[in-house]
Amino acid sequence: MGRWDIDDDARSPDAGGSRQPARTESARVEREIQIRPLPDHVQDRDGDRRGRPHALTLPAGRDREWVRSDGRDYRVRGSEVDLLERAGRFRVVFTEDLRRDAGDDARFREDLRSLERQDLLAERTVTRLRDGTVADVVSLTRGGQALLDHHRSADADVGQHYYSGWVKTAEVWHDASLFTMVRAAQQELGADGDHIRRVILDDELKALAFRALHEAREAGESDAAAHRTVANAEHLALDRDHFVFPDVRLEIEAPDGTVRHLDLEWVTEHYHRGHLGGKASAGFRMFGGASSGRRGGTPHDPKLVGRLFR
């Protein structure tokens, strides 16, 4: 298992593109901003009632079965498929968060090692340089991503993007925290019977928006008009003709079948007040704190907003 020493400050947002509110506005903006504490852990307790949270045509039972992908044969069981699918929705996830989410420690460890041996999933140890906190994280390999992509249901697939590899090493700590943030939002949604059918990360949103922006410009629209066209079509906020992207967008289905989206942002102590204000104005649901997978990370600071606006 590999090891990295990383500095999670690399993900710190740049306030250069955000409007800086005057100090006289600080108290008002602070009152308007709500940052929910990121819980230590939230388990998907609604999964059993809904069935599998995906429509992959892969084994669902307790016994391992042979499946084929990209000319290779693998043996996987239902819990291993579910583990791959949960991890694949995110670029990287803390191993501890996945373990707790699985509910069965012994089975999880067995599943994890089997998937590693088959080169479907990889685990690394990371150290956060600023405080020495150590954690294990997992990400799909290309083979794991291909296995999921090749076994999508032709009738029930909702277009969930799956990630693999260690593309953004400097952002591992930030990205690994998104899993628990999504689980926290899911817990709130479950009270109304809604469920998350698709998780969309910022990379996917950015690729979609900038591709559409290019097409709008090619069609003859001015830069400002093209930004407005894309923002309206993709439900994005604008800040001085710049898109404001969330860390995660959730595609949510209500019991009556209607679909809406919810944008989430994980706030750290490195946010500038202008950047935070822009995220709040965009209507993002914001969380702050630490994921349990960090083995003792920074706890939620109830005064975080106040400190950011001083």
pLDDT, tens digit, 9 for 90 and up, residues 248-272: 999 999 999 999 999 999 987 777 6
pLDDT of residue 32: 65
Q: Any alpha helices (H) in 15-104, and if so which ranges?
A: 26-32, 47-50, 78-88, 95-102
Residue 240 predicted with pLDDT over 60:
yes
Express each pLDDT in 115-174 by its tens digit.
Answer: 999 999 999 999 887 778 899 999 999 999 999 999 999 999 999 999 999 877 778 988
pLDDT for residue 49:
45
Of 278 and 244, which is predicted with more confidence? 244
Q: What is the pLDDT of residue 17?
A: 44
Rounded alpha-carbon distances, angstroms, from residue 247 to 2, 131, 141, 262, 295: 26, 24, 22, 11, 23
- More reliable by pLDDT, 80 or 42: 80
Q: How far apart are CA 179 and CA 284, in angstroms?
A: 17
Q: Is the per-residue pLDDT at 225 higher than 80?
A: yes
Average pLDDT of the segment spanning 277-292: 77
pLDDT at 131: 79
Supply the mean pLDDT for the chain: 83
What is the rounded radius of gyration, in angstroms, for the C-alpha atoms of the chain?
Answer: 20
Instruction: Give residue 226's pLDDT band: very low, low, confident or very high (50, 70, 90).
Output: very high
The pLDDT of 64-90, averaged and rounded, is 97
**pLDDT score at 18:** 45
pLDDT of res. 271: 72
Percent of the chain whose pLDDT exceeds 70:
78
Average pLDDT over residues 102-116: 95
* pTM reported for the whole predicted model: 0.83
Evaluate if residue 303 carries a pLDDT over 70: no
Checking if the pLDDT of 298 tops 70, the result is: no
Give pLDDT tens digits for 14-72: 544 444 444 444 444 455 678 888 777 666 655 544 568 898 999 999 999 999 999 99
Cα dihedral value 292, 294, 298, 300, nearest 10: -30
Residue 296 — pLDDT band, cuts 50, 70, 90?
very low
Percent of the chain predicted with pLDDT > 90 = 56
Q: What is the pLDDT of residue 99?
A: 94
Estimate the share of the chain in helix, then strand, then coil, as percent rounded to the nearest 5. 40, 25, 35
Contact 287, 266 (CB under 8 A): yes
Give the mean model confidence (pLDDT) for residues 67-84.
97
Q: Which two tokens stand for residue 104?
A: 């069965």
What is the residue extent of each domain of the chain?
17-308
Going by pLDDT thresholds of 50, 70 and 90, the confidence category of residue 282 is confident
